[in-house]
Structure 1
Amino acid sequence: MNISRRKFCGTLAASLAVANASSYANDSTTTPLRVIAYNIYGLTGWPKQRSLAKQAVAKGQMARRMAMELALHEPDIINFSESPSEELTQEVAKLLGMNHVRFASGGSWPGTLLSKYEISEFHNAPMATERPKELFTRHWGSATIQLPGGEPLVVHSAHLYPTAEPTVRLKEIRVMLESMKPDLDAGRSMLLIGDLNHGPDTEEYQLWIDAGWTDTFARVGKGDGPTIKADIPKWRIDYVMAAGPIADQIVESRPLFEGAFRLHIDDKESFALSDHLPQLAVFDAVKR
C-alpha cells in the first residue's frame, strides 16, 4: 500500500500525540526513559546496492521509514552514528517530535543526538585542547538534557575509530575519560551511547568499566547481544552505558533484531535500515 508523505506525517504525529496524552493522563509521577543507540549507515539501507534500497533512497522515503520503525519503540533519546545530511536527520526528528543536535565529524561520519526533552547545551569533541586530526574521525559530542522535573542528564554520543588494531581507539577513550572525569567524580547521571567499535572482551571496554561506567546490556541483557550485522549478528560493538544514579535504574537492554531493523536472509530483495542493529536501553523511575 502506498502512503503519501502528508498522510504519513499526519498519522505519525497523531499517534505520538495520543501516546503523550495517555502518558500524562496517568496518575503516576514517573515514566521510563527509553534510549536507543543506532549506527544508521548513512541512511542508505543495507545492502545499499539492492534495487529496493536504491528506490527508497531515490524516492526520499528513508527518513520516514526510519521514523516509523523507531516510533514503535517510543524512544526519548536517540543517538545516530554515520549520519546522512542534516536535512534528513532533521526530518526524522520532526516526524518523531524530538529536538536535534548534530556533531560534526573529523572525517565524513557525523553524529546526531535526538531528544524528546530539552537539550540545554551541547559541545562537539569537548576536550581541553584542539582535536588532533587522528582522533575522533567519526564523532564524539556531549549534551545536557533536561529531564522532566528539571534533573539534568549528561549524554555523550560517540562513534569510535574502527579496525581491529586498537591504538587510536584507546587514545580516543582516554581523552574522553579525562573530559568526563569531573562529571563522573561528581556522581552526575550520565549516558554514553553509540558505536564504540570494540567488543566487551577488550582493553577498550575495560577502560570504561574501570572509570565507573556500567554496561547496560551486561547488567540486565540476555545472551550475547550482538549488534552487527543486521542479517546474522555476530559482534557486540554498539552500547548504551550509564554512570551515576541512573545506572541503578536500568531495567532493560537489548539489540532490536526485529522489523525493518533486521535483514531477512530468505528474501533476496529485502533490505534493512542499516548494517547495524539499534541497541535499546530502558531506565525506570525518571521523574516527569
Structure 2
Amino acid sequence: MTLSRRCFCGAVGAGIASANLSLIANDQTSKPIRVVAYNIYKLTGWPSQSPLAQQAVARGQMANRLAMELALYDPDIINFSESPPENVTKEVAKLLGMNHVRFPSGGHWPGTLLSKSKILESQNAPMNGDRPKELFTRHWGRAIVELPGDEPLVVHSAHLFPTPDPAVRLREIRAMIESMKSDFDSGRSMLLIGDLNHSPDTDEYKLWIDAGWTDTFAEVGADNGFTFKADHPEWRIDYIFAAGPIAKRVRESRPLFDGAFRLNNDDKKSFALSDHLPQLAVFDSVSR
C-alpha cells in the first residue's frame, strides 16, 4: 500500500506529537521538587518604615516584587507565614501559576500554602479535639498535594508561638505530633515547613527529630543556615523538615541570602521583602 504525502506527513506529525507528550510526562516526573518556607512579614517590606517600602506597598507593587523574586527559584511548593490579606497572596499565586490555600490564624498571622500541583484537600489546625485558644495563635494547617507521578505529599504548614519561654511552643509541637501519627503510619511522603521560632539546640527541635522528622538543612546544608534577620542573620528558626520516602531524596537545603530577600546594609534607602530569609529545599522526584 502506498501512502499519500498528506497521510505520510500526518503519521509523522502524530508520531512526533506522541513522542513530545511522552518526553513532557517523563520530564514532569523526573523534575526535582523545589520547596520554599518564608515568613513574609505581612508583605510590608523590612524595615517597614522605609520610605521606599511604604511607597511599594501604597502602589500595590509588593505582590509583583515577591512573585518575581520567588520565580527565580522555580518553586513547586511555597509556605508563607504572617500572610498579608488574602487577595494579595492570591495575586502572588496567580502570578506564579500556583494553587492557593489559606490557613486562618488563631490571632492575626494567617498562613498560606501555594502549590503548582493540585491541592487535594486541606484542613486548618487539625489537632485531636478542639483547639485551645492559646495554641496556634499564628498558624498550622495540613494539606495533601498531588505531585507528578501521582505521589501524594502531606504538607504541614506552621508558624509556632514566639517568645523565649518555650512552654506554649512545646504544647503546640506535642499536639501536632499526636495528630501526625496517622500520617507517619501511612508511610507517605511528608513535609513540615515554616517559621517554628526555635533553634536546633532546643527541646522543641528534639521533639521533632524524636518523632521521625528529618531536618533537611542538617542533612545536606552547609555553614550555619541562619534565616533571621535579613540584614545580619543570626538565628536558624525557619525549617523544611521531611519524613517518609521524600526524606531520603533531599539534595539541597539552604537559606536564600540573595537578591531582594536580603537587606543591603550599605544602602540606607534599601529594604528587604521581609525580616526573615526564605528557606529552600530541593528533592529528587519519585523514582519511576
What SS is found at the alignment partner of 1:156?
A: strand
Corresponding residue number in structure 1 for 2:61: 61
Q: How many matched pairs?
A: 267
- Contact 1:139-1:158 at 8 Å conserved across structures: yes
Return the TM-score normalized by structure 1: 0.90
**CA-atom RMSD in angstroms:** 1.5
Corresponding residue number in structure 1 for 2:177: 177
What SS is found at the alignment partner of 2:180?
A: helix
Alpha-carbon distance in 2 for matches of 1:177, 1:266: 43
User: What's the CA shift for 1:26?
Assistant: 7.0
Corresponding residue number in structure 2 for 1:204: 204
Question: Against the structure 1 CA distance between its residues 27 and 144, is the aligned structure 2 distance closer, same or farther, given a 3 Å change threshold?
Answer: closer
What SS is found at the alignment partner of 2:240?
A: strand
Residue type of the partner of 1:120? L
Alpha-carbon distance in 2 for matches of 1:113, 1:285: 20
Structure 2's unaligned 5+ residue stretches are 1-20
User: What's the CA shift for 1:128?
Assistant: 1.8
Corresponding residue number in structure 1 for 2:160: 160
Alpha-carbon distance in 2 for matches of 1:101, 1:244: 23
Give the number of the structure whose alpha-carbon radius of gyration is greater: 2
Alpha-carbon distance in 2 for matches of 1:120, 1:180: 18
What SS is found at the alignment partner of 1:197?
A: coil
What SS is found at the alignment partner of 1:100?
A: strand
Corresponding residue number in structure 1 for 2:31: 31
Corresponding residue number in structure 2 for 1:96: 96
- Contact 1:147-1:287 at 8 Å conserved across structures: no
User: What's the CA shift for 1:183?
Assistant: 1.1
* 1:1-288 alignment runs, 5 A limit: 24=24, 29-286=29-286
Residue type of the partner of 1:56? A
- Contact 1:33-1:286 at 8 Å conserved across structures: no
Corresponding residue number in structure 2 for 1:7: none
- Contact 2:64-2:95 at 8 Å conserved across structures: yes
Question: Against the structure 1 CA distance between its residues 25 and 101, is the aligned structure 2 distance closer, same or farther, given a 3 Å change threshold?
Answer: closer
**1:36-74 Cα shifts (integer Å, max 9, x gaps):** 000000000000001000000000000000000000000
Alpha-carbon distance in 2 for matches of 1:45, 1:69: 13
- Contact 1:188-1:244 at 8 Å conserved across structures: yes
Alpha-carbon distance in 2 for matches of 1:287, 1:108: 41
User: What's the CA shift for 1:243?
Assistant: 0.2
- Contact 1:246-1:283 at 8 Å conserved across structures: yes
Structure 1's unaligned 5+ residue stretches are 1-20
**1:83-133 Cα shifts (integer Å, max 9, x gaps):** 000000000000000000000000000000000000000000001211100
Alpha-carbon distance in 2 for matches of 1:37, 1:262: 15
Alpha-carbon distance in 2 for matches of 1:83, 1:151: 28
- Contact 1:148-1:287 at 8 Å conserved across structures: no
User: What's the CA shift for 1:185?
Assistant: 2.3
Residue type of the partner of 2:31? T
What SS is found at the alignment partner of 2:142?
A: strand
Runs of 4+ in 1 over 3 A off after TM superposition: 25-29
Alpha-carbon distance in 2 for matches of 1:182, 1:202: 26
- Percent identical: 74
Question: Against the structure 1 CA distance between its residues 108 and 174, is the aligned structure 2 distance closer, same or farther, given a 3 Å change threshold?
Answer: same
Corresponding residue number in structure 2 for 1:14: none
Question: Against the structure 1 CA distance between its residues 24 and 111, is the aligned structure 2 distance closer, same or farther, given a 3 Å change threshold?
Answer: same
**1:225-277 Cα shifts (integer Å, max 9, x gaps):** 00000000000000000000000000000000000000010100000000000
Residue type of the partner of 1:129? G
Return the TM-score normalized by structure 2: 0.90
What SS is found at the alignment partner of 2:284?
A: strand
Question: Against the structure 1 CA distance between its residues 28 and 96, is the aligned structure 2 distance closer, same or farther, given a 3 Å change threshold?
Answer: closer
- Contact 1:191-1:243 at 8 Å conserved across structures: yes
Alpha-carbon distance in 2 for matches of 1:128, 1:78: 26
- Contact 2:29-2:149 at 8 Å conserved across structures: no
